[in-house]
Every structure is written in C-alpha cells, then in structure tokens.
C-alpha cells in the first residue's frame, strides 16, 4: 500500500508543481470519481485550495 501522506509531504517539500496522474477506473467511472475526490482532498490538505 502507498503512504499517501508521506508522498504528499515529500511533494510539498520539493515544491512540486506538476501533474499527478490518476491510474484507476478499471472498475468504472465511480471508482475514478472516488480517486479524483481523494486526490483533491490530499491536494487541498498539503497545497491549499489552489
């Protein structure tokens, strides 16, 4: 499993400003939506509401 808090902490430390790809959705668009909402929450937690 991925430690997303650690990953996003590192991205913030290095002032990451690039793209983050969602590689999900094999089980349909609802799964993709859940992943997108998770990514949005993590982005807001570590980078603010930009």
pLDDT value, residue 22: 86
Torsion of CA 26, 50, 11, 30, to 10 degrees: -10
Which residue from 20, 23, 15 is spatially nearest to 47, judged by alpha carbons? 15
Which residue from 17, 2, 4, 7 is spatially nearest to 47, judged by alpha carbons? 17
Enumerate the domain spans of the chain: 4-47
What is the average pLDDT across 18-32? 87
**Reported confidence tier of residue 43, pLDDT bands at 50, 70, 90:** very high
Rounded to two decimals, the pTM is 0.80
Cβ–Cβ < 8 Å for 39, 32: no
pLDDT digits (tens, 9 = 90+) for 33-42: 999 999 999 9
């Amino acid at each position: 499993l991925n430690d997303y808090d650690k990953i996003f902490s590192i991205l913030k430390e290095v002032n990451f400003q690039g793209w983050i790809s969602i590689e999900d959705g094999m089980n349909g668009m609802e799964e993709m939506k859940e992943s997108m909402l998770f990514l949005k929450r993590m982005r807001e937690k570590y980078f603010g509401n930009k």
